[in-house]
């Protein structure tokens, strides 16, 4: 039967030719590429039935040499005006060496996922993949201090050159923050949420009740002292549990809450934290009083700084696109104080 020449093969190649192309690919990336920060996604509170996670975390970042395929600018770099605000659809395509990823990064990722699984093997059903970058992982783009999310990983570009693949092509889109937690150790990445008003709680502390200075991005422990007759900066004993909704939507009792410090103003006594565990920020007290938050009277202790203060109020910071306060203020100025306003239609 006829077949292609075994001496000039364009599909199978030889180990020496494969190695040569692989070396050239890695050399090109090192010469013309840039160093980005690769952040694998960790799924938190994973639903074991649907295999979906209500929250994600990024616990470390790894420098990785990357070639920017879209070197002449963002693809589809249009800004769309939606009912949720302005959405940027900037896209970039990156290329990384398959050999380098599997040699230097895969063993580390495998060890990381095994530690999460208590020694068990990497579980793809938990969104864990060690042999390649996966959809949902992030790349930090230093030129404009932005983060891109991997939307799709191409395995066959270029199409099986001498019967083998040499790169992973990553199709990425600008990352949209939705409550993820960053603790990578890179300040330019970990401050991603600092200017975002969502997923934050603002505490007013009584400066006369405690001492210390909260450190930026440190984790704090929150204790409920609302029922303590004379609260102090010492955690109450016994601990009075919070009754809050968890990520699955069920009301449960928890001893303490944790959060991450975003800003701390020791002069005004204002502490802003983010990602409070087991907290629905819109949940109010049992009397449905919108002006009273369940977290109004708590003790906040820094796990690193050991700073501790009692709070007098808790609120959600006003968002840039939230005009509720402005509308209410204007209404209060123009409304007519008349008894008839209380029952304008005369219902008995």
| 338: CB partners within 8 A, 6+ apart | none
Instruction: Round to whole Å and give the CA distance between 334 and 329.
Output: 9
Q: Is the CB of residue 272 less than 8 Å from the CB of residue 263? A: yes
The more confidently predicted of residues 223 and 182 is: 223
Q: What's the number of CA atoms in the CB half-sphere (13 Å) around residue 220? A: 32
Quote the DSSP letter at residue 167: E
The more confidently predicted of residues 249 and 30 is: 30
The more confidently predicted of residues 307 and 330 is: 307
Instruction: Round to whole Å and give the CA distance between 223 and 210.
Output: 14
Within 10 Å of residue 34's Cβ, how many Cβ atoms? 14
What pLDDT does 292 receive? 56
List the one residue out of 201, 203, 208, 181 whose CA is nearest residue 192.
181
What average pLDDT does the structure give for the chain?
Answer: 82
pLDDT grade, residue 271 (50/70/90)? very high
**Reduced to 3 DSSP states, what percent helix, strand and coil does the chain have, rounded to the nearest 5?**
20, 35, 45
pLDDT greater than 80 at residue 32: yes
Q: Is the CB of residue 178 less than 8 Å from the CB of residue 192? A: no
The more confidently predicted of residues 71 and 149 is: 149
What pLDDT does 220 receive? 95
- Alpha helix segments (H runs only) across 149-283: 187-190
Query: Taking the mean position of all CA atoms in its chain, how far away is CA 67?
Result: 25
Here the tokens at position 242 are: 């919070």
What pLDDT does 118 receive? 85
pLDDT greater than 80 at residue 238: yes
What is the percent of the chain with per-residue pLDDT over 70, rounded to a whole number? Answer: 78
Give the lowest-confidence range in 94-103, 202-211, 238-247: 238-247
pLDDT greater than 60 at residue 214: yes
What pLDDT does 79 receive? 62
What pLDDT does 116 receive? 87
| Pairing, β 62-68 against β 34-39 | antiparallel
Residues 59-69 have a mean pLDDT of 93
pLDDT in tens, 120-173: 888 888 888 999 999 999 999 998 888 999 999 998 888 888 778 899 999 999
Highest mean pLDDT among 26-30, 153-157, 228-232, 319-323: 26-30
List the one residue out of 183, 181, 152, 182 whose CA is nearest residue 169.
152
0.75 surpassed by pTM: no
The more confidently predicted of residues 67 and 187 is: 67
Here the tokens at position 286 are: 């049992």
Residues 106-127 have a mean pLDDT of 88
Instruction: Round to whole Å and give the CA distance between 113 and 123.
Output: 8
Instruction: Calculate Rg over the CA atoms of the chain.
Output: 27
pLDDT greater than 70 at residue 279: no
pLDDT grade, residue 335 (50/70/90)? low
pLDDT grade, residue 321 (50/70/90)? low
Residues 290-311 have a mean pLDDT of 85
What pLDDT does 56 receive? 86
pLDDT greater than 60 at residue 282: no
The more confidently predicted of residues 294 and 96 is: 96
| 160: CB partners within 8 A, 6+ apart | 11
Here the tokens at position 297 are: 């009277």
């Amino acid at each position: 039967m006829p077949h292609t020449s075994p001496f000039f093969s364009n599909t199978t190649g030889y180990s020496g030719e494969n190695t040569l192309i692989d070396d050239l690919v890695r050399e090109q990336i090192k010469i013309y590429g840039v160093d980005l920060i690769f952040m694998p996604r960790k799924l938190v509170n994973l639903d074991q039935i649907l295999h979906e996670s209500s929250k994600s975390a990024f616990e470390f970042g790894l420098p990785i040499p990357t070639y920017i395929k879209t070197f002449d600018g963002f693809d589809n770099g249009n800004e769309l005006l939606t009912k949720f605000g302005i959405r940027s659809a900037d896209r970039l395509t990156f290329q990384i060496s398959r050999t380098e990823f599997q040699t230097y990064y895969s063993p580390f990722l495998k060890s990381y996922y095994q530690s999460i699984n208590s020694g068990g093997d990497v579980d793809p059903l938990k969104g864990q993949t060690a042999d390649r970058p996966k959809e949902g992982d992030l790349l930090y783009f230093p030129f404009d201090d932005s983060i891109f999310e991997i939307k799709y990983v191409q395995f066959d570009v270029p199409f099986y050159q001498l019967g083998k693949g040499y790169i992973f092509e990553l199709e990425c889109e600008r990352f949209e923050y939705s409550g993820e937690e960053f603790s990578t150790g890179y300040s330019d990445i970990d401050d991603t949420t600092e200017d975002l008003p969502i997923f934050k709680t603002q505490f007013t502390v009584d400066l006369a009740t405690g001492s210390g200075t909260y450190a930026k991005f440190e984790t704090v422990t929150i204790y409920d002292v609302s029922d303590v007759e004379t609260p102090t900066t010492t955690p109450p004993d016994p601990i009075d549990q919070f009754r809050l909704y968890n990520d699955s939507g069920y009301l449960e009792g928890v001893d303490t809450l944790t959060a991450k410090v975003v800003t701390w103003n020791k002069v005004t006594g204002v502490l802003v934290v983010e990602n409070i565990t087991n907290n629905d920020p819109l949940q109010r007290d049992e009397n449905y009083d919108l002006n009273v938050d369940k977290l109004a009277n708590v003790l906040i202790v820094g796990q690193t700084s050991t700073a501790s203060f009692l709070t007098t109020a808790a609120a959600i910071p006003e968002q840039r696109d939230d005009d509720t306060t402005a509308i209410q203020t204007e209404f209060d100025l123009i409304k007519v104080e008349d008894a008839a306003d209380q029952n304008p239609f005369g219902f008995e």
